[in-house]
Amino acid sequence: MLGSNRDGEYLVSCLFCRREFDEYLMKCPVCSGPLEIVFLNPRFRIDKSKPNIWRYKSLLPSFSKIITYGEGLTPVSRIHGVLIKNERYNPTGTYSDRASSLIASYVASTNIKKLWVRFIEDFTYSLSYYLSGLADLEVEVYGDDISNDELGKLVELGVKLVPSYTTNSSLELDYLNPLTIEGLKTIIFEVYERKVRCESIVVPTVTGLLARSLWKGVKELKESGLDVCYTIVPVLIKGWLKPTLIPSDMDVVEVELETVLNTFTKLCSSGVRVKPISALAYAVAENLGNSLAVITAGYKSSTRMDRGRVKESIINLLNREGSLTAYEIWKGLKSFTLRGIYKALKSLEVRGVLCSEFEVRGSRKIKRYKLCGNQLKS
């Protein structure tokens, strides 16, 4: 059974056949269509004490346990004058972390111990990161996936890779599930909270899930009685089919592949590292004007020396402060990215330099790091 959030009940509705359910399901048991959570009495409130997506708890499903690594509150900045919401500044470097926080909270609250998921770049890594220590994850790999570097990172996190033709009895988790939508929509809440001035929010589109989620976020803000006039603009490569997840009244912009490659080349040659899919949204935001592009962008690859410096700074900080959470460490060392801090913490923990413990703060479980034993203390 679904719980209720502070302001009222919610239910799960099928986007295809419109049937309604009162439990979390991954897809519609009747028509296999995608499901979405519907708030019956939406109210938008911000809990400013939470430095993550859970500050929007009034419009998120509620769980008895919350798993967070500080996802969300990513910066809005400009690249060559174009406004961007840079999702790279999430714990594993993508907006998938917003979804993973909800899924991991659900898994922790329901005590699911084993699940499996189809390999999807970025999402599977993010999910593995969030589920690490909570549940065993099996990742279904197809032949096409084996050239992907990310598989190695999954193994390092203790994930079991299984061939696609294996039958599996554990719970199947689909990327397209109601909790993913809830996590991704928080991007729009942050844009609204920060009062970003723009008309269009441009979203790179493959499955339509991100655009759909942001559209839902705008809809809920309006239903909460707020004056929100952002238009979500999904962008596709010319010739691709409009995904069924995109609401029919939403206009899609198509871009020639050549334009995407030219924009990608321009960004890369000026030292901005983006994925080609991000260049798709960037190109349209640049052309439209008065727009914000939701992308992941880095400015240069971190060198081995940078990585060494993060670790050294963390050890020095913990030596002074005793024990700290990852977020507190990041606040103390603002010159590094949160993702860099998390990477360094994981690696220091695996090497036995750092030990971690959980403590409960309010209703949240907080992970604190400290130096193991007296090692490295001078």
- Smallest gap from Cβ 12 to Zn ion, in A, equals 10
- Selected range binding Zn ion among 7-15, 48-56, 136-144, 242-250, rule: CB under 5 A: 7-15
Judged by CB, which is closer to Zn ion: 33, or 298? 33
- Smallest gap from Cβ 167 to Zn ion, in A, equals 25
DSSP labels, 1-23: ----BTTB-EEEEETTT--EESS
- Smallest gap from Cβ 196 to Zn ion, in A, equals 35
- Smallest gap from Cβ 223 to Zn ion, in A, equals 23
Near Zn ion in 330-369, by CB under 5 A: none
Judged by CB, which is closer to Zn ion: 34, or 204? 34
Judged by CB, which is closer to Zn ion: 47, or 174? 174
Q: What whole-number distance in Å separates Cα of residue 324 and Cα of residue 369?
A: 5
From 58, 18, 20, select the one nearest 217 (Cα to Cα): 58
Q: What whole-number distance in Å separates Cα of residue 42 and Cα of residue 222?
A: 9
# chain residues binding Zn ion, by CB under 5 A:
7
From 44, 92, 47, select the one nearest 189 (Cα to Cα): 44
From 149, 208, 147, select the one nearest 175 (Cα to Cα): 208
- Selected range binding Zn ion among 8-16, 74-82, 93-101, 134-142, rule: CB under 5 A: 8-16
Task: Return the structure tokens found at 182.
Answer: 């809830």
Which string of b and e fits 167-176 if b means at least 16 CB within 10 Å? eeeeeebebb
CB-CB contact of 8 with 39 (8 Å): yes
Q: Give the H or E element holding residue 203.
A: strand 200-204
Judged by CB, which is closer to Zn ion: 28, or 329? 28
Judged by CB, which is closer to Zn ion: 17, or 40? 17
- Smallest gap from Cβ 178 to Zn ion, in A, equals 13
Near Zn ion in 127-166, by CB under 5 A: none
Judged by CB, which is closer to Zn ion: 12, or 14? 14
CB-CB contact of 378 with 322 (8 Å): no
- Smallest gap from Cβ 117 to Zn ion, in A, equals 21
Does residue 245 interact with Zn ion by CB under 5 A?
Answer: no
- Smallest gap from Cβ 115 to Zn ion, in A, equals 22
- Selected range binding Zn ion among 6-14, 137-145, 302-310, 316-324, rule: CB under 5 A: 6-14
Task: Return the structure tokens found at 100.
Answer: 């993973």
- Smallest gap from Cβ 181 to Zn ion, in A, equals 15
Site string for Zn ion, 30-49 (x = CB under 5 A): xx-x----------------
Judged by CB, which is closer to Zn ion: 30, or 155? 30
Task: Return the structure tokens found at 69.
Answer: 């690594």
Judged by CB, which is closer to Zn ion: 17, or 226? 17
Per DSSP, 240 falls in state P
Q: What whole-number distance in Å separates Cα of residue 162 and Cα of residue 50?
A: 37
Q: What whole-number distance in Å separates Cα of residue 346 and Cα of residue 202?
A: 34
Site string for Zn ion, 11-30 (x = CB under 5 A): ---x-xx----------x-x
Query: Residue 127 to residues 180, 206, 246, 254, 285: CA-CA distances in angstroms?
Result: 11, 20, 24, 31, 29
Contact residues toward Zn ion (CB under 5 A) are: 14, 16-17, 28, 30-31, 33
